[in-house]
Amino acid sequence: MPILLTSLNSDRSNEHQEQKKKYNVLLIMADDLNNDMQCYGNSFVKTPQLDRLANSAIRFDRAYNQFPLCSPSRVSMLTGYRPDKTGVYDLQKLFRDNIPEAITLPQLFKNNGYFSARVGKIFHYGVPGGIGTNGQDDSISWNKRVNPIGRDKAEESKLTILTPGRGIGASLTYLIADGEDEEQTDGIVAKEAIQVMESNKDNPFFLAVGFYRPHCPYVAPKKYYDLYPLDKVTLPKEDPNDWNDKPQIAKWTDPLNYGLDETKLREALRAYYACISFMDAQVGKVLDALERLRLKDNTIVVFCSDHGYNVGQHGQWMKQSLFENSARVPLIIAIPGVSNGKSSARIVELLDVYPTLAELCGLKPPKDIQGKSLVSLIKNPNEKWDKPAYTQVQRIINRDKPDQKIIMGRSVRTERWRYNEWDETKLGVELYDHQNDPGEFINLAADARYSSTIKELSGLLRKSYAGK
């Protein structure tokens, strides 16, 4: 049985009707979105639709992904297993090669009589290369799949490339696009998602809507760029001594900031923000349709990103780092009549989405999934909660040489601390005190006063992968 709305909110009077009603699930995912949104405290970035969703939801202020790279993170969230169990650490490996019997989150709903549909990018495929294809999708998870493709894919020759030689899906590349929202791939995602809801409004559904922005290339119509005059765009704070106490293996962007000057960096950040606002507007269209179709009162809405994104913090850009901006993600969950503008500062993971939705909808997930249901936090956002979050990345040492070596960087995040180990401490250790240093500028790992803290966190970190 689904959890009754009355069990979360005793003021509801229509208990009998709610007992008969299955929740729908609308899972909305952005691609490469960090927490630069108004509802998360960045007042410069315009996200009125996501702010609106947050006002009727619970906002998790400290949610973390398990691997800040598209495929490993998405597979982890959608299977309920950490990357060490899925075996997916890159953009090539298919999870069913390692865990063929896994029951994914959408598959669980499909197996229990829900209409399961995907529009856009949910499992991984390359952006922009894979737009319009199934990519690495998991076909048995869905009853219906839609792969939109818009004029952004056709106009790649018009892109401004700030970091040449890296491929347009992995470089600071942008386009101030002509035309309307509906001509862009994300505009088509919104349109197709609405059509799926219209066709299935009378039956329970699990609908996953995957937007492509703000993933590079940063393509959005001009009106969204106009929201961000270049001279108003401010780059993150930097410390000239930042890397004096950090292991070099922690760098993903090297040279720092790709060696670009301030003007080009502000161009890139402006383009990234424009894409966030463009994506936000498309989310709004889907939310409007939910209300118009009278589905809002029995549909759980989850909004998240696959991972965070660096936009110049520590001279780093994009993902694949263990710093806060890369590891942290937005996570917003709206449950009809329950989660009205709440927030929780407890540490949670994308891995927790699977058991949370299963519990809310009365479904039994596989016993061995590794996340923890957030239902108790939805009831009481400030309850005692001691669960940490784990994030990991992979590095290749001496790539394409006879002595090439693949090592792992691992991080544990508690309410106060972030602790990182590179190659099980052999290539470096980091400790940051988020109570006094939220920007992670001061690495305390070499300070003897914190030896007991490091010992405790190191033990906690090893628990995350000892049994895989």
Nearest to 342 by CA among 25, 60, 63: 60
Does a cis peptide bond (omega within 30 degrees of 0) precede residue 330?
A: no
124 a catalytic residue:
yes
Cα gap 456→468, rounded to integer Å: 20
Tell me the two tokens of residue 343. 């927030």
**Residue-wise DSSP of 22-57:** PPEEEEEEEES--S-SGGGT-TTS--HHHHHHHTTS
Treating both helix axes as pointing N-terminal to C-terminal, what angle do 353-360 and 70-79 enclose, rounded to 10 degrees?
30
- How far, CA to CA in Å, does 187 sit from each of 123, 209, 289, 395, 451? 19, 12, 14, 36, 52
Q: 70, 216, 275, 304: which is the annotated catalytic residue?
A: 70
Closest to 317 in 3D by CA, of 389, 218, 448, 220: 218
Tell me how far apart the alpha carbons of residues 169 and 188 are, in angstroms, rounded to a whole number: 20
Backbone region of residue 389 per phi and psi (left: phi > 0; alpha: psi in -120 to 50; beta: other values): beta
From the candidates 124, 215, 307, 314, which is the catalytic residue?
124
Give how far the C-alpha of residue 77 lies from the chain's centroid of Cα atoms, to the nearest Å: 9
Is 70 a residue of the active site? yes
Enclosing H/E stretch for 209: strand 205-214
Distance of alpha carbon 361 from alpha carbon 459, whole angstroms: 35
Catalytic residues: 70, 124
